Structure 1
Amino acid sequence: MSSENITKPTLLKKTAATSAESHTNSATSNTEISMKNTMVELKTLTNQVVSYTYMKDRMGRYTYVNESAQDLFGIPPEHIIGQSDHHFFDLKTSDQLKHNDNLVLEFGETVKQEERVIIKSTGAMRIYQSIKKPIRDDQGQITGLYGISTDITQFRQTEDTLNQIIKHLSLARHASGVGIWIWDIVQDKLVWDDQMFVLYGISKDNFRGVYKDWSSAVYTDDLQRAEKEIQMALCGEKKLDTVFRVCWPDGTIHNIHVIATVIPDASGKPLHMVGTNSDITSHMQSDDFMSLTSAIYQSSGEAIMVTDENNIIRHVNPAFTHMTGYELSDVMGKSPRILNSGRHDKNFYQEMWQTIMRTDHWQGEIWERHKDDIIYARWLSISVIRHPNGDIYCYVAQFSDITEKKQYDELILTQANYDQLTGLPNRNLFKDRLAQEIKKSHRNKLPLALCLLDLDHFKEINDTLGHAAGDELLKKAANRIKSCMREIDTVARLGGDEFIVILPEINNKLCIEIVAQHIIQELGKPFQFNQNETLYHISTSIGIVVFPEDGADMESLMKHADQAMYVAKQQGRGRYCYFTAAMQQKVNEKMTLMRDLREALTRNELHVYYQPILKLTDHRIVKAEALLRWKHPQRGMINPASFIPLAEESGLIHEIGDWVFDQVIVHIQKWHEQFGHIIQVSVNKSPAQFKHANKQLWSEKLTRLKLPGNCINVEITEGLLLKDTAEIKDCLLEFHNNGIDVSIDDFGTGFSSLSYLKAFDIDYLKIDRSFISNLTKNTTDPALVEAIILMAQKLNIKTIAEGVETREQQDLLIELGCDYAQGHFYSLPLPENEFEKLINCIPSMKVG
C-alpha cells in the first residue's frame, strides 16, 4: 500500500471518522438486488406521473398542455396556453429551447435529446428527456410541433454520481473503491492510501495547499459529532461507525461512511486505529429517491393499482382505498373485475385489452362500482411494465374520480343546448339537429319541413298578466306543440314567443298541413293561469318551408320560414303559410327600395307637395297639408304607402321628417312675405318619430325664423294616443306650450276615446276619407259625420273633411257644420311653385 504521513497535532481536537461493521455479506447483496428491482418499479411509476405532453404553434406558443404541465410551471394549464418559453424560463434556457424547436419547425426534424431548463418562477434546474416532432397539415406544411417530456432530473443526478464513483474506482488501486487509513495514536500520525485522496476530491500534491489537515475538509456541522464518536471509540465505549459530510474543493458535498477499529498495545492502551472510508453519497441519494418515490406513490391524489402478469391485484395506494372503499386486504389476490359496474359490455373490454396488448397503454372514461355499490365515473390509464426480455412484469392502473366533472359537464351541456324555461332544445341544439337532418335528407332523398311558429297576442298576455303568466303560457304552449309531434320530430324554442319544428322524412305536403293545423287547433284552445277562472285565448302564425326546394342550407331555410310566417300574420294570424318565390322577390324589392331610399335625400329625389285646405264658410285657402313625394330616377313616382313604412323601419324617418319640416317652414316664411298672411301647413309626424324625438328642435327652428307656433299643424294618428307613453305626452305638451296645433288624422278609423281627445288638448279632427267618399243624403254616412262634427264642437275642436271629390259632398259638409275641407274636388297635391301660383291666382276658390 503506497502511503503518505499526515501529521495530526492534537488527539482530541483532530479526530478521524466513526466505525461500523462492513455490510458486504450475501444478505446485503440480496437486499440491494431487491431494492434495485423496487427502484425500477418505482422509477416506472414516477415516469407515469411526471411525463407531460404539449403542442406549440410556429411562433413557439403553447397551444396544448396536459395536466402534468402544472407540476413544471406551477400554474394551471389554462394559464400556460398562448405563452412561449421565454415567459417561464430564463433567457439562456428559452434560447436553447427555441433552437431545438426550430430544428423541428424549420427543417421537419424529429428531435430527441436532453434539455436542461431553469424555471424562472422558482429558479429550479430540471432535466427533461424530450421528443419533439413536427405537426403537418393536409398539404404537408409544418404548422407546429408536439412533444413529450419526462422529468429525469433525479435519475440523471443519480446516474452522474454513479459514473463519478465508477471513474474513481477505475483510477484507484483498490477495486472496492474503499479508502484505507492508519492512525498512529502514540506519534499522532495519520497515513492515507491513494483512494483516500480521491474520496476527498484532491490529489496528494495539492492536499496541503487546500487543507490544513483532514478535519478542515469535514462539513462544519458534522465535525464536533465526528470527533466525539472517535473519542468514544478510543475509550472503548463503542466501535467507530459513522457518516459525515466532506466539502470538496469544488464546493460539492460528499457523504463519507467511516468504519474503524482500535488496536491496543499489550497493556490495553490504544496504539493504532485502522479504518476504511467509502463515499456513500450515491447510496444516500438512492435512498432519498426511493423515499421520495414511495411518498409520491402513497400521497398521490390519483388511485394506483398494480396487478401482476396475470392481472391479479398486488398493490394499491391510499387514494385507491379512498376512491373505491376497498382496503388492500379486500382486493389482494383478486381480479380488477371486482370493480366492474355492469355498464360496459364485452366489446368494450375486448377493445380495451386489444389496445393494451398492441400499444402497452390505454386510457379512457370508465364507470366502476364503489364498495357501497354506488356507480362512479373514472378517468382510467393502464400501462404495461415489461421485463428486459419483453415479458410482462406488471400492469399499472391509475384513475381519478370524474363523476362531479361529468355532472357539471352535463349541466353545462344542458344549459348550452336546452331552453331553461320550457326544457325544449334551444337555438344551438336546433341548429345542430337541423344540420344532421339536412344530411339525412340528402342521403335518403326524403324532404324535410320546417314550421316556424310565432304566438299571436302573446305580448298582450305578458303586459296585462305579467311575466310570470307569460312564462307559464310559454311552458303550456311548448307542451301542446310537443303533443302534436312524432318521436322523430324536433320542437325547439328560438327565444321569446318563437318556436320551430323540424319534420323529417315527409312524404307529401298533406302531412305537413295536418301537423300545422293540429298545432293551430291546440294553441287555439283557451289557457287558464294560477287557478284563475278567466280563460285567455291566443293563436299562432306558422311559416312553412320544405327542404330542398325552399332552400339548400340552414340559413336560407330559416330566412324563408321567417318570411312565410310574417305573411301568415299579415293574412290575419291563426293560420299557416308556405314560402313562395314571390315572397323572396318582394323581400328583394323591399331591400332594393330601402337602399335607394337611403340615397334619396342626397340625390334630391324627395319633394314636398302641398294640398290646399279650404275654409268652407268662404272657400278661402287658409291651410295646406304637406305631403312627401319620392321621384325615383328609374321607377318614377313611388307611392308613399310603399316607402314611408320603410323609412320608419330603417330609422330614416327621423332624418326625412326633419328635412320635410325644414322645407315647410322655409316655404311658410316665403308665403308670409309674399301674401302678407300665414298659411298654416299640416305636417304628418310618424309614431316612430316620437321614440327619439328632440322636443325643442322644431320650436327652436320656428323661433329662429320668427314664425308663430300655429303656422304648423302636427298630424298624428289615433293609435298613437292609445300608447299613452311619457315620450308622447311630453312631445304633445311641448307642441301645446309653443303654440303648435295638433290634429288627429284619419279620425274615426281607430279607437280614440273622448278622454284622450281632452287629455291631449287636440285642436283639429280630420274626418277620414272613408266617411266622405260615400257621403250622400241617401246613406247613413251623413249621420256618422254629423256625430263626429257635433262631438268636436262640444269639445271646441275644429273639423277637417278629407277626400272631398264632389260638390254634393261639399254641400252636405257645409250643411252639417264642418269647418274645413280638402280633396281632389279642390286640387291635387302640388309642388311648391304650383301651389304658390294657385294661391296667387285664386286666393278665394269660388266653388260653392
Structure 2
Amino acid sequence: MQSQHVTNPTQRPVVLFSLIIMVVVLLTLTADYAASRWQREEQKTAVNQQLSALRAALEFELYTNIELIRGAAAYVSLNPDLNQQGFSLYMSRLLEQRNNIINIAGARDLVVSLIYPVEGNEKVLGLNYRVNEAQRDSVFKALDIGTTILTGPVDLVQGGVGFIARIPVVNENGIWGILSVVLDYQEVLREAGFIDQQTLDLVISGHNAQGQLIDVFRDTGSRELQQPVRLSIQLPYGQWQLAAQPKDGWINFTLHPLSWVMALIIGTIACYIAQLRLNNRLLQQDTLSALKLSERKFRQFFSAHAVVMLIIDEHGQIVEANRAAVNYYGYSAEQMSAMSVVDIQTMDRDSVMRHIKRSMVERSSKYAVQHRLASGEIRDVELLNTTIESNGRQLIYTIVIDTTERLEYQKRWELSQQVFNHSLEGIIVTDATLNIISVNPAFSDITGYQEEEVLGKKPDFLGSDLYERSFIEQMQFIITETGFWRGEVWSRRKNGSVFPQLLSISVVKDDVGAAVNYLAVFSDITSLKQSEEKLERLAHYDALTGLPNRVQFQLHLQHTVSLCQEVRQHCALLYLDLDRFKVVNDSLGHAAGDELLRMVTERLSLRLRSSDLLARMGGDEFVLLVEDYKHDSELEVLARKLIDEMNQPFYLVGEHEVNVGGSVGIARYPADAANSEDLLVRADAAMYKAKQAGGSKLAFFTSDILVEASSRLTIASELKRAVAENELELYLQPQIDGANGAVVGAEALLRWNHPVKGFLTPDSFIDVAEQTRAIRLVTGWLVKEVFGIIERWQTQYPQLFISFNVSALDLADNELLRRMTEVLADHPIDTSRIELEIVESAIIENFESASSILVKLRKLGFCVAIDDFGTGYSSLAYLDKLPVDKLKIDREFISKLGEGEQSGVVKSIIDLAGNFGLRVVAEGVETAEQEHLLKAMGCNRVQGYYYSKPLPMSEFEAKYLTL
C-alpha cells in the first residue's frame, strides 16, 4: 500500500507564522536598505543643492567682475592712443561699483603700458607678455580665439595670487593688444562662499593655457574625494569642474531599531491579517473590479487631457504618451511608444536612470531638465512624477510642463535688474498715480537721496518750483498724447544745489492701453552746459583779445544803424588795419604776433569813449563804431590819435621792439551808406585806400573808391586765365599722427604763379574770387587736381587723405556736388580719402542748402571737416545737425596753450568732439610744448610748422613718400 505524506493541521499556523516572520525580516532588511539608500540620496541632493549655490555664487562673482570692464575693451578700441591719465580716469569711474578687481592693465602690442590703479602695481608696467612664461600662453590663447578667457590661480608680478581675465582689444587697424583684469583670488572665493563653508570637501579643477589639468582650489585636507558630486562651472571661455563630498563622508547601510520594532508589530498584524485573508478574498475581487473601472477612466482622462503626460517603466521606456505629448514632441504615437526617455533628454543615460530610480522610490518627485523635440529644438521643462501600479507593474506617471518662456522671462528680468542697478543714468519708476516705487543707485549718486527717502513721494519734489506752471502742463500734455517726453530741465539735489539734467519720461501701458507706470531716465549735464557756455562766448568774442568778433559786432552795428534811423542821428565806422603785422608774424612767430595784437587792443581801448565799441574783425583788422558825433573833424581827430598810437613802438617779451603803424578807413551813416552792411564794406574800402596811400594814413570813403572795385574784376578775369593756362599750383602741408609721427594725410593749399605779380598766396585773390564768383573755376580746378593725386597714391598709399577748403559760394547750390560726381566718374577712387574743409560761417550763412549738399557728399563717402573751429559761429545746436566728421581747432587757441583758460577751451573742444563722435585735429602747432599738451588732452592728429611748412607737390612726395 502506497504511503502518503499528510500535513498535520496543527502545524499549518506554525508554518504560516514562520513564513510571515521570514517575509517581515526580509522586508525589514529591505526597508533598512531603502532607507539608507534614500538617506544617501538625500545627502547627495543636499550636497548637490549646496554645490549648485556655490557654483552660482562663483559664476556670479566672476561674471560680475569681468562684465564691469567689458565696456573698457570697447573704450580702448575706440581710443587706441589713450594715455595713463585718460585710462585711470575712465577705469576709476568704471570700478566705482562693488568689485574684487586688483588691477586692470592695458598691454598695447602685448607690453603693459597702462595700469589702474598705479599705486601698488608699479612692477606690472613694462611687463612683456611675449617673454613672461607664466602668462604668455593665456595671452596668446585669448588673441587666438578672439574672445575673453579666464586663467588662474596665477602668481602675480607685484605679489599675491589672482585670477586673470584676458580681453583682446581690436580696432580698425587690427589687434591693438590685450586688456588684463586681475581678480583677487581669495576674495572671489570668499565672496562665493568657498573659504568659510564648513560642511563639504571641495575641489575646483580646470585646464590651464597649456592644456594641463590643475587644481584651481582644494579644500579637502589630506582626504581624497570618494564618489563626489560634480558640477561644471561655466567660464567666459571653457569651464572648470567642481567636485564635493560631505566632510563626514557618505552614509552607508545601517540597521534601524525602529524598523525592527515596526517589523514586530507588522508581523503580529500580518498573522492576524492572514486569518482574515479568506474572508477578504471576495472583497478583494470587488475591489479589483473597481480598480479596473478606475483605470479605464484614468486612461480616458490621460488620453484626452491637454497637458503633456507620459507613462514610463522602471527602465525608462515610454509605455504610453497622450495626444498632447505626441503633438508637443513632434513624433508619431508609434514612434513615442518605441522610445525611451533617454531619447528626449539632454542628460546622459546614467543621470536619467538615477532620476528614474529615485522617482520609483519616492511617491512623488519634481525635476527641472531639458527635453529635445523631434525638430531638434531644446526646451526647458519641469517634470512632476508620481508612481502608479498597472497590471501589477510599478510605473511612473509624468506630467511635463514647458518652462522655457518662464525661464527666458526670468533671465530677461534679471538682466534688466542688472542694467537698472548699474546704469550711470538716474532712473525713477512711479506707479500710475506718480508715486515713486523704485529708484536705481545712480539716482542716489546724482541727487543725494537714498531710495528709502523718496519711496511714496512724487518726483516733483526734486524741483517743480523751478518752472512755470505752463511748462509742466505742456509736458504733461505731450506725455498724455505721445507717451514720451524728452528735454532739458533743472533739478535740485538733497543739499539744495540746482543742476541741469537731460530727462526722458516714458509711459508703460497694460494690454488695454491704460498707464500703469511712468519711467524717468535722467543724466547730469552740468559739464556739457559749462562747455556750451564757453563755446557760446567763443562764438561771439575773440579768444585772443576778448573783443567782440565779427558776428557780435555786426549784430551790434545793425542795432545801432536801426536806432539812428529812428532818431535821425549819425554814426561812423573807423576800420583799422596794421601795416606791417605780417612782418612781425613771419619773423618773430605767431606767439609774438598774438602778443602784439593784445597790446594793440590795450592801446586802442585807452582812446575810446564809453559809448564807442571796438571789435576785432579777424587777423590784424579792428573796427571802431562811433555813435552820435557832430562833425567829421571829430572822426579825423580820433583816427589820427589811433594812428599815432599805432606808430609808437611796441616792446614785446624778449626785448623785441617792433614798429607796425596802422591805416584807418572812415565811413559815415547816413552820408556814405544807407545800411549796416554797406557801411562796413565802405569803411573797409576806405581802409584799403589809406593803405594804398603808403600806410599810417586815414581816408574817408568817397565815391571814387567804388571805381577801384573794378580792379578786382580784373583779378577775377585773370583768375579765369590762370585756371585755363595752369598757373595755379598745389602745396601740401602734412597732417601727423602725434602718437607715432606718421603722416596720415595732407592739406592742399593754393598758390598762384602770376606772370606779372609773381608768387601769390590765397590771401591775395581768394576774397576777390569769392566776391566775383570766380571761385567756382578755382574749386573746379582744385577738385580735379586732388582727385588725380589720390588716384596716383591709392595703390601704394591707400591710407593717405587730402583735404582742401570749400567756400560758402561752393555750398550755395549743387554745382560742387555735380562737379565732384562728374570727376569721380573719371577717377574711380576711394572717396573716404578726400576731405572737404569748411569754415563755420560758410555753413551757417546758408545752413539749409549747405547742410543738404554736405549730406549728399557724405553719402558718396567724402569726409567733411569744420576748419578754424571755435573762432566763428560755433554752436552746439548747429554742430549736432551738421553732417561733419572732424573738427580742426583754430591756430589761435593752439598758440596759447598753457595759458590757463585757453588750455581749458582746447580741452573743451576735444571733449566736445568726443561727445559728438567726431575726430579732431589741431592746426598751427609750432612748439614741442604744444605737441605735449595736445597729447595729454587726447588730441593726436596735428598740423603745423613744427612738423613742416606747406611744400610743393614734388618736395612733399620726395620727403614723405616713395612713389
State whether TM-score is above 0.5: no
Q: What TM-score, normalized to structure 1?
A: 0.42
Q: What TM-score, normalized to structure 2?
A: 0.38
Larger Rg: 1
